[in-house]
Amino acid sequence: MTTQADRSNAPRFAAGGRAGGAMHSARISLGRAFEAESANYFLLLGLTLFMVAFGLLMVLSSSYVSSHADGSSFFAKFMNQGLYAIIGVPIMLVVSRIPQKFWQRTAWLALLGASLLQVLVVFTPLGYGINNNTNWLKIGPILFQPSELIKIALVLWLGMFLTRKETRLRKFGQALVPALLISIVPLFLIMKGNDLGTTMIVGLMLIGALFFAGVPLWQLLVTGVAAGGAAFVLAFSSANRTHRIMAFLHPEAADPNGDGYQVLQGQWGMANGGVFGVGLGNSQSKWNWLPASSTDFIFSITAEELGLIGAVLVLLLFVALAFVLLRIIRSAKTVFARAVTGGVLVWIIGQAVINIAVVVGLFPVLGVPLPLISSGGTALISTLAALGIVLSFARAEGQPARATVKQ
- Backbone φ and ψ for 71, nearest 5 degrees, come out as 90, 10
pLDDT along the chain (407 residues), means of 10: 50 49 48 62 96 96 87 88 96 95 95 95 88 83 91 96 91 89 94 89 94 92 88 76 74 60 87 93 89 92 96 97 96 94 97 94 88 94 97 79 40
CA separation, residue 232 to residues 196, 229, 369 (Å):
10, 5, 21
Q: What is the pTM of this model?
A: 0.87
**Residue 53, CB half-sphere, CA atoms under 13 Å: how many?**
6
DSSP state letters, 71-108: TS-TTHHHHHHHHHHHHHHHHHHHHTTS-HHHHHHHHH
**pLDDT at 407 (0 to 100):** 37
**pLDDT at 258 (0 to 100):** 61
Instruction: Mark out the alpha helices in 285-334 (DSSP H runs).
Output: 298-331
- Backbone φ and ψ for 359, nearest 5 degrees, come out as -65, -40
Buried b (16+ CB within 10 A) or exposed e, 40-64: bbebbbebbeebbebbbebbbbbbb
All residues at 6 or more sequence positions from 308 whose CB lies less than 8 Å from its CB, including other chains = 273, 274, 275, 276, 277
Residue 225, number of CB atoms within 10 A of its CB? 10
**pLDDT at 253 (0 to 100):** 56
Q: pLDDT per residue over 363-377, tens digit each?
A: 888 889 999 999 999
